[in-house]
Amino acid sequence: MPRPRNAQLRLVLAITGVVVLLDQVTKLLATQLLAGHERVEILGGLIQFDFYRNFAGPNNLFGGHTVFISLFAIVAVVVLLVVATRITTTVAAVAVGLLLGGAIGNLLDRLLREPAPLEGGVVDWLRFTDATKSMNLADLAIDAAIAVVLVAAVLTWWRDRHLREGDASAQ
C-alpha cells in the first residue's frame, strides 16, 4: 500500500504533466494559427484569441529583465518540486500541481523560444474582453491554483469556526 505522501506526489506530477502538455499544445496552435493574423473574437468579444509574445513578467512587470524573470522561474520550479515531495493533502497537491505546471509551461517558453535561452518571450494567446491582459493556459493554471488555496482556506476557517462554536455550546 503506497504511503499517502507518494499518492499526493503522483497527483502533483499528473496535474503538472497535464497542464504543461495542454499549455504547450495550445501555444503551438496559437503560434501556427494566430501569429500574423487579426484578433479572433467570440461570444461578442467576451473571449478573444490574439497572438502576443510577452517578454516581461506578470502584468508587464520587470520588462527588459527577461533573464532575471527566467532565473526566478527556475528557482520557483525547484522550490515547488521540493514542496511537492512534502505534501500530505489532496488540496495542496492540486494547488502545487497547477502552480508547477503553470510555472514550467511559461519557463519552457523563456528557455526555448527566440531570441535566446533565458530571453524567450512567453506565448500569450487568450484574452477575456479588451480590459484583460493576454494570457495562456499556464497563466490560467496559476490563477486556478490561487483560487484552490483561497477556497480551501475559507472552507477550513468555516469548519474550524463551527467546530469551536460547537465546543463552546457543549460546555
**Chain segment 120-167, per-residue pLDDT in tens:** 999 999 999 887 889 999 999 999 999 999 999 999 999 888 888 776
Look at residue 167 in the predicted model and tell me its pLDDT.
63
SS3 for 105?
A: helix
pLDDT digits (tens, 9 = 90+) for 14-73: 999 999 999 999 999 999 999 999 999 999 999 999 999 999 987 778 888 999 999 999
Grid cell locating 57: 513578467
Task: Tell me how crowded residue 138 is: count the other CB atoms within 10 A of its CB.
Answer: 28
Instruction: List the catalytic residue out of 23, 50, 124, 130.
Output: 124
Please indicate whether residue 169 or residue 13 has the higher confidence score (pLDDT). 13
Look at residue 168 in the predicted model and tell me its pLDDT.
62
CB 15 within 8 A of CB 97: yes
- pTM recorded for the entire structure: 0.90
Is residue 139 part of the annotated active site? The answer reads: yes
How far apart, in whole angstroms, are the C-alpha atoms of residue 106 and residue 42? 25
Is residue 143 part of the annotated active site? The answer reads: no
Instruction: List the catalytic residue out of 50, 139, 160, 167.
Output: 139
The phi and psi torsions of 48 (rounded to 5 degrees) equal -130, 135
